[in-house]
Amino acid sequence: MPPRSRPHGLLRPAAAQINEAIRQLIEQPDDDRRAEKYRRLLIAWAEATRSEMVKAA
């Protein structure tokens, strides 16, 4: 299966930028909004650091 392509013009933020956003978020008071933002950042970080898909033999 070919990898999913991103819509033209939308680039994933670099993992380092996402990591910095997570660090800054941790400094904020713990609440539901922070928890949701943290969840979204973790997903974005996983996508940004995902290695290239390897075709199954």
pLDDT at 55: 44
pLDDT at 48: 84
Mean pLDDT per 10-residue interval, the chain, length 57 residues: 50 78 94 96 88 46
Q: DSSP alpha helices (H): ranges in the chain?
A: 15-26, 32-49
Give pTM, 2 decimals. Answer: 0.63
pLDDT at 47: 86
pLDDT at 37: 96
pLDDT at 8: 47
Q: How far apart are CA 6 and CA 27, in angstroms?
A: 32
Long-range pairs, 12-15, Cβ under 8 A, ≥24:
12/44, 12/47, 12/48, 13/44, 13/48, 14/48, 15/45, 15/48, 15/49
pLDDT at 29: 94
Are residues 50 and 15 in contact, defined by beta-carbon separation less than 8 angstroms?
no
